[in-house]
Structure 1
Amino acid sequence: MSALAAESWTWFALCLFIVGCRLVSRILLLGSPRQLQADDGLILVAMGTYTALIVCINTVARSSSNLINPADGPIQFTPDVVEQRSFGSKMVVVSEQMQLITIWLIKGCLLIMYGRLTTSTKQSLAVKLVAAYVVIGFIVMEILYLGVWCRPFDQYWAVPTSNVQCSAATNHLIINAILNISSDIFIMAIPMPIFLAARLPLKRKIILCGVFGLGTFSILSAILNKFYSFTEPFGSAWVFWYVRESSTAILTANIPFTWTLLQRTFNIGSFAGSSRGRSRTTYHQFNHSHSTKNATMSRKATRPDDLERNESQEQIVPLEIWQNVQLSVQTSAAVDDKKPTATVTETGAESISDAKSDTSKGSNSDDLGVPNPGAARVTTTCVHGPE
């Protein structure tokens, strides 16, 4: 087995495992395979094109194409040589298309996820602008590759070819590098304000940094595969980086969605580090200044079983309020014409966790439910009129 085959199929097995974990995790979270969403479907399509890429790229490594190395000297274009090089050139075209489609499908999955995560108008606008850039960039790149750079189209596998753009594809590689790398940077920049503002434990932040590290490696792979395509067009280094870029992109898009499965398997807490309490308690205490009698009452509200939420990284919880309130009531006798008065001082702290939810659709599929604590203090003065 060649080095490329060993590495590429290892990447494939890892990506297949992570995508499988993602789908199981999503089904556990959403309750049914029918509840899977658009980005889940795109991931399945991306795995199909990624599989085709791995098969074709290994075929390319074993074949010759119409990109002829001058160092090889004059080549006798016998029918067998032409047929072999023509087949290899077709595999290059198919590999390029599978790689492009895989990468851009992953971009779409990430943008859909970020679209659910963003709540502010500015963040939503940023997602829409980047999505427009990604879609338009892909369309322009495909039009140029399929209809402009190499005409007629069958020159892509002609042996020998009359146009260097049909074999080296220099113009296409330049456009691809610009659109691919720039859109990756834009996509990675979108969630930064969300994660920087999130109050997460250190371990959780380290996990997020690891995921972003994979995204950074994917960008580095895109840079290196273009670098070797330009500097060593007759070598094989660029093929390895094609595989690494696509593989790390798939891992980056799927690892964040495996938290529910990890939580169920290893019985760990929520990604945001919130407690697993299922009850809320409110206390009211009344102290009367003219009496030694104290009355205390408590009320306990328990969440019904059918409303129990999954403490998942991918769960965005609805509004929840925890309140601890003490009421102190003091009254004084009437003086002359004045009315008796009572002063009620209510003190307490409320911890409010508010996150984006969509209960009307019956699905909560975002990645992080991050608590947003707040506090409140209320003082109320009551006047008791004559009986």
Structure 2
Amino acid sequence: MSILEPESGIWYTLCWLVVAARLWSRRLNCGSWKKLQIDDFLVLLAMVTDTILMAFMHVVLNMSSNLIAPNENLSTFTPEEIKERIYGSKLVLVVEQMQILTIWLIKACLLIMYNRMTMLLPQHKIVKFIAVYVALGFLVMEILYFGVWCRPFHEYWAVPTDNKQCSAAIHHLITNAVFNISSDIMIILIPMPLLFKVRLPAKNKAILGGVFCIGAFTIIAAALNKYYSFSHPFAPDWTIWYLRESYTAILCANLPFTWPILQRAFNLSNWSQNSYPSNHDGGQSRSHNNFSQLNGTNMVGKGNTMVSIGRSDSQEHINKKSEPLEIMYGHEFTVQTVDAKVLLQASAVGPGVLSRREGSLNVDTQDSGSTGPKKAVITTTCQRF
């Protein structure tokens, strides 16, 4: 039994189960398979590339490449062995590209999710910056791999090769480690401010913390697969860490979406809890929670109800029985009824219009020339900051 078994089979099966649960949960919330969003399809594509990665990794584990150990004598290689090493070197190239595609597709899925979560929050600009960084990192890494580090390109499978970058790919591995680990750290830090502000029971916060721990393990796996690639290039240890990184990344990106199906299967309560405190000090107030959900639906308070406003036809309705895992971000505002006459006298302004835009307060008094009481309309607005 190889170093990859039975661990890789267990990881692979678990990933497919979680992805299937995610897609079915999305189907429950969207109401139709046709309403799935782009990140749902990117997850499926990532599973395809990960399947290719696992299949070829098992082959690479039992083959040699143009990375020749110092104690090996080239003159003793038979034509059949050279042919096998050429084939093995080509498979190493495929494995490397499939691993890169899997990881970067998962990064894209996470950034799309965070883009929807932070649409109405200050962190939205940070998500956009990280998305640009991830895209540029991928382009730079691939351009260097295909056009700079090893020239001509067929030297990647030449046996022997005079260019160490064509066999050991040291420069590529360093570039990959820098862009991969740095972007992973940025992505995992995005929801941290929301996690501290979120209004959730400690049990639910612990669940979110567990998902983030899986993301942290993904970063550790990324560092270890590079460590073993540099320190033990001729040993098979790096292969299992390549797979562990891709598997944990897939789990981290999909587990938050499995809540609706778990809620139905085990009859669990809703994830979010809304509160509407009242203020008895001379006026009425309500605390409304603005939701930036994983599915991209915004929640706006209206009276004693919550109204779901979707940005596209594929958005879920919050009133359905199954609700997705949510990150809740709230701020408060107060609406008070004020005597318009007193307000005008205090402001030393005659009958007319008083407007104080900085405080988002507008008062319109209507003077019909009569001596009767004047009508006042007071409107307050709460703006996102």
Question: TM-score band (shorter)?
Answer: 0.7 to 0.9
1:29 alignment partner in structure 2:
29
* Equivalent residues, number: 322
Is residue 244 of structure 2 the alignment partner of residue 244 of structure 1? yes
In terms of mean alpha carbon deviation, does 21-30 or 186-195 score higher?
A: 186-195
Q: Give the equivalent residue in structure 2 for 1:319.
A: 300
Q: Tell me if the contact between 1:316 and 1:367 (Cα under 8 Å) persists in the aligned partners.
A: no
Deviation at 1:373, TM superposition (A): 7.1
C-alpha distance 223-359 of structure 1, shift in aligned 2 (>3 A):
closer
Is the Cα contact below 8 Å between 2:117 and 2:294 reproduced in 1? no
Unmatched runs of 5 consecutive residues or more in structure 1: 281-311, 324-351
CA deviations 1:47-104 (Å, max 9, x no partner) are 0000000001111101111111112345522210011111111110000000000000
Residue 368 (structure 1) aligns with: 326
In 1, are the aligned partners of 2:195 and 2:327 still within 8 Å (CA)? no
- What TM-score, normalized to structure 1? 0.77
Q: Distance in 1 between matches of 2:48 and 2:83?
A: 28
Larger Rg: 1
Deviations 1:2-57 (A, max 9, x none): 23132112111111111011000100110001000010011011000000000011
Which position in structure 2 is the counterpart of 1:83? Answer: 83
TM-score calculated relative to the size of structure 2: 0.77
| 1:187 match | 187
1:158 counterpart residue number: 158
Name whichever of 192-201 and 171-180 sits farther off.
192-201
The aligned residue for residue 225 of structure 2 is 225
Show the counterpart of 1:45: 45
The answer (yes or no) to whether the contact 1:211–1:255 under 8 Å persists in 2 is yes
The verdict on how the C-alpha distance between 1:369 and 1:67 changes in structure 2, with shifts beyond 3 A counting, is: closer
Question: Equivalent residue for 1:66?
Answer: 66
**Contact 2:299 2:307 survives alignment (8 Å):** yes
Q: 1:76 to 1:362 in 2, by over 3 A?
A: closer
Give secondary structure in 2 for the equivalent of 1:370. strand
1:24, 1:261 within 8 Å by CA — same for their partners in 2?
A: yes
Amino acid at match of 1:372: G
CA shift for structure 1 position 372: 3.4
User: What residue in structure 2 maps to residue 138 of structure 1?
Assistant: 138
The question of whether the paired residues in 1 share the 8 Å contact of 2:173 and 2:226 is answered with: yes
Distance 1:316 1:200, change over 3 A: farther
Displacement of 1:194 = 1.5
Q: CA deviation at 1:271?
A: 1.7
* Distance change >3 Å, CA 273–CA 73, structure 1 → 2: farther
1: CA distance between counterparts of 2:294 and 2:123? 20
1:382–1:191 CA distance, 2 compared to 1 (3 A): closer
- For 1:198 and 1:248, how far apart are their aligned partners in 2? 25
Distance 1:371 1:129 in 2: 21
Which structure ranks higher in relative contact order (CA pairs < 8 Å, sequence separation ≥ 6)? 2
Q: Go from structure 1 to structure 2 and tell me whether the alpha carbon gap of 1:120 and 1:6 turns closer, same or farther (over 3 Å shift).
A: same
CA distance in 2 between partners of 1:107 and 1:360 (Å)? 23
Q: What does the per-residue CA deviation read over 1:208-229, in whole Å, with 9 as the maximum and x for residues that have no partner?
A: 1100000000000000110111
Q: Identity across aligned pairs (percent)?
A: 49
Structure 2: state its 5+ residue gaps. 277-292, 318-323, 342-370, 374-385
The residue type paired with residue 241 of structure 2 is W
The change in CA–CA distance for 1:158 and 1:317 in structure 2 (over 3 A counts) is same
**Aligned counterparts, 1:1-387, within 5 A:** 1-120=1-120, 122-273=122-273, 316=297, 318-321=299-302, 323=304, 357-358=309-310, 361-364=313-316, 367-368=325-326, 370=328, 372=330, 374=332, 376=334, 378=336
